[in-house]
Amino acid sequence: MYKVVHFSEVEEDLYALPDEVLNEVFEYFEKYKTDPFKYSSKLYNQGDLNLKGYRKTYIAQASYRIVIHIENNIVKVVEVVVVGKRNNKEVYKAAHHRLND
């Protein structure tokens, strides 16, 4: 069983989501508790944004993304970095910014 945690900024991300997208996000947060690898795919560098080692989940017909990091050591943790729209890689830019500040 994995514990799902998130960056503090994710609360703002969630607040900005439409209700139907928010519901889907919470469904994935629950799924991550059992097998986050099953519900996400590897995320590679996005141009000059180094996100290697992180994973993504497509939501809302692939117009939004959840970016996560999985700690699979003694304590199993899924850390949610960002939730947002994919438009112009804005979700990946936000993830890169949060990881490098």
pLDDT at 44: 86
d(CA 76, CA 14): 23
Contact yes or no for 82/69 (Cβ under 8 A):
no
CB 56, CB 16: distance < 8 Å: no
Q: What is the DSSP letter of 12?
A: H
**Residue labelled with tokens 């990946």:** 92
pLDDT for the residue numbered 75 = 72
- Domain-wise residue ranges, the chain: 3-100
Q: Any idea which residue has 């995320």 for tokens?
A: 43
- Residue 75, token pair as written in the block: 């304590």
- Cα 83 to Cα 91: distance, rounded to the nearest angstrom: 7
* DSSP E strand boundaries for the chain: 3-6, 41-43, 54-59, 64-72, 76-85
What pLDDT is attached to residue 37?
A: 94
Question: Which tokens in the block code for residue 80?
Answer: 């949610």
Per-residue pLDDT of the chain (101 residues; tens, 9 = 90+): 899 999 999 999 999 999 999 999 999 999 999 999 999 999 988 788 889 999 999 999 999 999 999 988 777 899 999 999 988 889 999 999 999 97
User: How does pLDDT run across 34-55, given as a tens digit for each residue?
Assistant: 999 999 999 988 788 889 999 9
CATH topology (fold) of 3-100: YaeB-like fold (3.30.2310)
Q: What is the pTM of this model?
A: 0.90
